[in-house]
Amino acid sequence: MKVHIVDYGMGNIFSVQKKLLQEDVSVTVSSKANDIDAADKIILLGVGHFKKAMDNLHDLNLIEPLSNFALVKKKPILGICLGMQLMTKCSQEGGKVDGLSWIDAEVKKFTTSDSLQFKIPHIGWNTVQQVKDSRLTQGLSSNEEFYFVHSYFVEPGSDDLILHQSSYIQNFCSAFEKENIFGVQYHPEKSHNAGQLMLQNFLTL
Amino acid sequence: MFRPRLIPVLLLKDNALVKSVKFKNYKYIGDPINAVKIFNHLKADELVLLDIDATSEGRRISSDVIRRVGEEANMPFSVGGGISSLADIKEVISCGAEKAILNSHAIQHPHFLQEAADHFGSSTIVLCMDVGRKFLRKSPYIFTNSGKNATKYHPVELAQKAEGLGVGEIIIQSIVRDGTMEGYDLELIRDISDAVSIPTIALGGAGNIDDFRKAYQTGHANGIAAGSFFVYQGQNKGVLINYPSREDSSKIIAPQPNQ
């Protein structure tokens, strides 16, 4: 099986790559459309600005091959952190910037609270509450902890999309699932055994 | 439920793990990669790696070490030591670090903080502030170059400036408490934590779990970091990498009857 990590100049590819290489799969990392076309599964990760990420995907001519993979071929694709956010319609980050529009959702910024406990960015370990059954979360306990680093969150247009929900200042969608398209706000590659189990589940989809 | 992070800080000198007292008297602890393996096993929340000689030797923390840590670590980690350009940050992130910790260069050139946050996003950029006392002055000041050079900045002033420039979190390190295990400078930590809306991490002085609790409950820190606590055991400070159980660390957030 070929898993492809899209390299579009945004973020920590090494960690995810290392975690995947512990499993019995071949991993490609590149910014080439060919590798997207040849892949069985894709991971879209990223940290940084939404607008810059979309600009990079656009400049590298990757939007069409990615959309073809996700919407026409309907093969499994997992968005992590900013990668999850890019799958939505638009983000508040950097004005109102269009996303890949695969998922009916918008990306919003946490509103500042007065609480000294809940500052922004949301950095650290938080529990996720499972909202619907999924093959991605098989074997995970019902109140698993994952590692988060983000200031913006995904607000789905429909509750049916929500896979995990978490609470920080407010409740927010920490994972979504729509057919073959998965997005997680947290970092499975940095989340001890639970994270590795989730990546294994993704590989067996 | 969201909970405060408990973060071991690993100091690197010649790529070996060391521990200091008041930024001096470095004692050899062991191999950093071995320590990371143990912290994996103990399920540590997050790690910080700091190369304490990088700035004075005019270089950056070794990519090779970061990469080897990145290969091992099952948890996020941040790295610092001589990071002074966007290319440096790109490099440490591509080696597997979650966040870049900026210190001397960024404090001397604050516009770099803004450039870095603009380029990599706030949540990737951490400012480490080393706080000490100037001779015959009562109020605390920020120091750079491993505590050697005093700056004009008061801690709260620099913290607020850093927040305005887009920094995502601040490590507050007390030079005089470093390695003493006598407790955090709670007043300092609270003054800064209350003055900014970004997360703060307390560092310097932790000797026991109750110190962690105080940093969180009295100091209002969002992350709790320590060096000696995680590498020493007992009164004679024998080297033993350790990390509290989930049950013990739950005392950090437990309400206190007397408060």
Tell me the pLDDT tens digit for each residue of B49-104: 999 999 999 999 999 999 999 999 999 999 999 999 999 999 999 999 999 999 99
As a whole number of angstroms, the distance between CA B193 and CA B159 comes to 9
**Distance from the B75 Cα atom to the nearest Cα atom in chain A, whole angstroms:** 4
**Mean pLDDT of all residues in chain A?**
95
**Distance from the B242 Cα atom to the nearest Cα atom in chain A, whole angstroms:** 17
Q: Among all chains, which residue has been given the structure tokens 């709790």? A: B224
Q: Which residues of A touch B118 (CB under 8 A)?
A: 49
**Residue A78 phi, psi (nearest 5):** -120, 120
Q: Which residues of A touch B186 (CB under 8 A)?
A: none
pLDDT beyond 80 at B259: no
**Which of B2, B70, B194 faces A14 most closely, judged by CB atoms?**
B70
**Residue A53 phi, psi (nearest 5):** -65, -45
Q: Which residues of A touch B4 (CB under 8 A)?
A: 124
- Tell me which of B28-32, B74-78, B138-142 is least confident: B138-142
As a whole number of angstroms, the distance between CA A79 and CA A185 comes to 8
- DSSP letter at A204 equals T
Q: Among all chains, which residue has been given the structure tokens 């110190």? A: B211
Contact criterion met (CB < 8 Å) for A48 and B168: no
**Distance from the A79 Cα atom to the nearest Cα atom in chain B, whole angstroms:** 17
Beta-carbon contacts below 8 Å between A and B? 108
pLDDT tens digit string along A47-71? 888 999 999 999 999 999 999 999 9
A169 touches chain B (CB under 8 A): no
A64 is catalytic: no
Catalytic residue among A93, A106, A177, A189: A189
pLDDT value for A48:
84
Q: pLDDT exceeding 70 applies to what percent of chain B?
A: 99
Residue B65: name the closest of B79, B55, B44 by CA: B79
Catalytic positions of B = 130
B99 touches chain A (CB under 8 A): yes
Contact criterion met (CB < 8 Å) for A125 and B124: no
pLDDT value for B143:
97
As a whole number of angstroms, the distance between CA B221 and CA B241 comes to 24
**Residue B219 phi, psi (nearest 5):** -85, -15
**Which of B98, B119, B193 faces A12 most closely, judged by CB atoms?**
B98
Asked whether the beta carbons of A142 and A37 are under 8 A apart, the reply is no
Is the sign of the CA dihedral B16, B19, B21, B23 positive or negative?
A: positive
pLDDT tens digit string along B164-215? 999 999 999 999 999 999 999 999 999 999 999 999 999 999 999 999 999 9
H/E run at residue B79: strand B77-80
pLDDT value for B258:
59
Q: pLDDT exceeding 90 applies to what percent of chain B?
A: 92
**Which of B119, B123, B222 faces A149 most closely, judged by CB atoms?**
B123
As a whole number of angstroms, the distance between CA B107 and CA B125 comes to 13
Domain residue extents for chain A: 2-203
Give every CB contact of residue A9 below 8 A, 6+ residues apart in sequence: A31, A56
Model pTM score: 0.95
**Could you please report the per-residue DSSP string of A14-40?**
HHHHHHHHTSSSEEEEES-HHHHHH-S
The model's confidence at residue B134, banded by pLDDT at 50, 70 and 90, is confident
Interface with A, mutate which of B65, B123, B160, B192 (most A CBs under 10 A):
B123
**Distance from the A186 Cα atom to the nearest Cα atom in chain B, whole angstroms:** 11
- DSSP letter at A1 equals -
pLDDT value for B221:
97
Q: Which residues of A touch B93 (CB under 8 A)?
A: 11-12, 47
pLDDT value for A114:
76
Please compute the mean of the pLDDT values over residues A81-106 and round it to a whole number: 95
**Rg of the Cα trace of chain B?**
17
**Which of A14, A49, A147 faces B96 most closely, judged by CB atoms?**
A14
As a whole number of angstroms, the distance between CA B144 and CA B163 comes to 19
Contact criterion met (CB < 8 Å) for B96 and A18: yes
In three-state secondary structure terms, B12 is strand
**Distance from the B246 Cα atom to the nearest Cα atom in chain A, whole angstroms:** 12
Asked whether the beta carbons of B256 and B50 are under 8 A apart, the reply is no
Rounded to the nearest 5 degrees, what angle is found at the Cα of B51, between the Cα atoms of B47 and B56?
Answer: 155
Contact criterion met (CB < 8 Å) for B122 and A151: yes
Is the sign of the CA dihedral B119, B122, B128, B133 positive or negative?
A: positive
Write down all domains in chain B, each with its CATH number in brackets: 5-252 (3.20.20.70)
Give the nearest chain B residue to A120 (CA atoms).
Answer: B198
**Which of A121, A127, A168 faces B168 most closely, judged by CB atoms?**
A121
B219 touches chain A (CB under 8 A): no
Where would I find the beta strands (DSSP E) of A83-161?
90-91, 97-98, 105-109, 122-127, 129-130, 145-150, 152-156
CATH class of A2-203: alpha beta
Q: Phi-psi category of B56—alpha, beta or left, where left has phi over 0 and alpha has psi -120 to 50?
A: alpha
**Helices marked H in chain B — which ranges?**
32-41, 63-72, 86-94, 104-108, 111-120, 155-165, 186-195, 209-217, 228-231, 246-249
Please give the span between the terminal C-alpha atoms of chain B, in angstroms, as a whole number. Answer: 23
Asked whether the beta carbons of A13 and A29 are under 8 A apart, the reply is yes
Contact criterion met (CB < 8 Å) for A123 and B5: yes
In three-state secondary structure terms, A174 is strand
**Rg of the Cα trace of chain A?**
16
Please compute the mean of the pLDDT values over residues B239-251 and round it to a whole number: 94
Contact criterion met (CB < 8 Å) for B97 and A117: no
Please compute the mean of the pLDDT values over residues B137-141 and round it to a whole number: 89
**Residue B182 phi, psi (nearest 5):** -100, 10
A155 is catalytic: no
